[in-house]
Amino acid sequence: MMKAPSKVGTEVEQAIEASGRFRRHLPDHTQYLCCYRTETGIPFAVERVTENGVRVWFLEDERLKSALASKGFEPNLNMPWQVPGKYGRNSNLKRIAEFKDAPLYWVTVRSAGEALSVVSLL
């Protein structure tokens, strides 16, 4: 049974869609992620179902990590597991070709405003 999107997940999705600055990266979002591209083509994903804050996922980029840290966000590096048959993170990320086996950063956002602050830096 599919989990319903959380309140914060829905608010973040609506804010990103309404901004007009991002386009869907996949024709349909996955069960647990909303997937977008910036106007310059940079992919990112936002979790949908976490109740107390959602993660924004993006490709490893040290300049972006520094920019986010300077705004008070805490980027966390996540590597896919090297164990055969195990992925070690949200398996929906594998549907995004650029993310499948790449090092990714994620930050937790607790509001639509925080999410827009993060993705506007991409």
CB atoms within 10 A of CB 64: 18
Q: Which two tokens stand for residue 96?
A: 């995004």
Spans in the chain with pLDDT lower than 70: 1-2, 26-30, 82-88
Query: Could you give the angle at the alpha carbon of 40 between the alpha carbons of 39 and 43, nearest 5°?
Result: 85
- pTM value is 0.88
Q: Say how far apart CA 67 and CA 115 lie, in whole Å.
A: 14
Fold of 7-119: Aspartate Aminotransferase, domain 1 (3.90.1150)
> What Cα–Cα distance (Å) separates residue 122 from each residue in 52, 59, 86?
23, 10, 29
Q: Where are the domains of the chain?
A: 7-119
Query: Could you give the angle at the alpha carbon of 102 between the alpha carbons of 100 and 105, nearest 5°?
Result: 110
Classify residue 94 by its DSSP letter.
G
